[in-house]
Amino acid sequence: MNSRADRSSYAAWWWTVDRVALVLMLALITVGLILAFAASPAATGGPLTAGDFRYTVKQMLFACIAAGILGGASILSLQQLKLVAAIVFALALIGSGLVLVFGNEVLGARRSIEFGLFSLQPSEFLKPGFAVLAAAIIADRTAMPLPKPVITFLLIVPALVILPLQPDVGQTTLLLALWAALLFFSGASLGWMAALGAGAAALGGVAYLTLQHVQHRIDQFLNPAGSGYQTSLALKAFAHGGLTGVGPGAGTIKYRIPEAHSDFIFAVAGEEFGLALCGFIAILFCLLTVRLLLRSADQRDRFSQLAGAGLATVTAIQAFINMGVAVSLLPAKGMTLPFISYGGSSLFAVALTMGFALAVTRQRPQLPQREPSLFELLGARA
């Protein structure tokens, strides 16, 4: 047990970090490892061929690294957080551009670069970096030549150009949703929010008209005769599992679901563990999101309030989209379920996102009278 009289760095972290949110995050990682055992044979084998647990072993390694990222990010001070976020965002943007040249092409898309044991998807790290940077700009009291919503939008313009070229509509959607959420939390006028809604509708129309795979997925979703191939199998998996599931390892439909270990791992949970585990996963995400939003609202500085709310919201939106696609409430997006889907990039990025959230929601009894702005911090390091 740690005593409050202990003045070590670990004790200072333990008594100031949001331990409830931390437990919820670790619970989601644990559920992800359990489902990795269930989904790995389906991803490495088939209905008539035996699979193995290679993805499970790799996911356990990824989980250990992710835990280190989560803990390391959570100890950052607000000043360090802004600097780290700037570096992460810049590297993620550069990496996303390099993917177009050096990335692996899978089903006509280039989104990741191979690094031996795993592939890295740089675009996953744009979200935590942008959430912190945009919050720092909006919260800065320094007068700026352009409105702050415009400045934050210009920050992601390069990403909005690069991501559709990969193409990655899912990450583009999340970045725009994150930007809109930050403006909403900062108190943007109804005019701004209405303009954002109109712009989102226009971009959706452009994507539908210019990207064939987007048109195909939306047409499938709107077709009353039935849903797409993956979604149809996912619904059959939920029906097969019922309330309590068919039991660990006893699922059969999972062997026919493409990307059962990543994009459609929620369907594997439904088949083998039933509605009970699916409901438990949804409750964990709801509790985590509400907890982080409440902690963010309790912070005394505007930067922490905005950054914490943005980081919590973008993770919640991603989880909602993934689960919504699996149960045919939304068109297929090709988006992972945070903490749970297989993949190093996804797990590392969400660990960094939640580590940043834990850092900005830590209890800070005494704040400096004025936090240095992001521009002052970057200038001091130059």
What is the per-residue pLDDT across 66-116, written as a single tens digit (0 to 9) for each? 999 999 999 999 999 999 999 999 999 999 999 988 877 776 678 888 876
**Nearest of 125, 107, 325, 295 to residue 220 by alpha carbon:** 325
Tokens of 218: 């939306």
User: Residue 79 CB: number of other CB atoms within 10 A?
Assistant: 15
For the cut 90, the answer to whether the pLDDT of residue 143 exceeds it is no
Q: Does residue 164 have a cis peptide bond before it, meaning omega lies within 30 degrees of 0?
A: no
Q: Look at residues 73, 140, 128 and name the one whose alpha carbon lies nearest to residue 302.
A: 140
| Token pair recorded at residue 162 | 């690069």
The rounded distance, in Å, linking the Cα atoms of 38 and 247 is 10
- From CA 25, how far away is CA 12, in angstroms rounded? 20
Cα separation, 269 vs 251, in Å, equals 10
Percent of the chain scoring above 70 in pLDDT: 89
- Of the chain, the percentage scoring pLDDT greater than 90 comes to 53
User: Which of 28-37, 54-63, 216-225, 244-253 is predicted with the least confidence, judged by mean pLDDT?
Assistant: 216-225
119 by DSSP, 3-state: which?
Answer: strand
Mean pLDDT score, 175-180: 93
Residue 269 has pLDDT above 90, yes or no: yes
What's the CA gap between 171 and 85, in Å, rounded?
Answer: 18
Q: Strand 118-120's sheet: what is its strand order?
A: 104-106, 109-115, 118-120
Task: At 252, list the tokens.
Answer: 């059969």
Query: Global pTM?
Result: 0.89
The amino acid occupying position 29 is I
pLDDT reading at 182 higher than 90: yes
Q: Measure the CA dihedral 168/172/175/181, to 10°.
A: -130
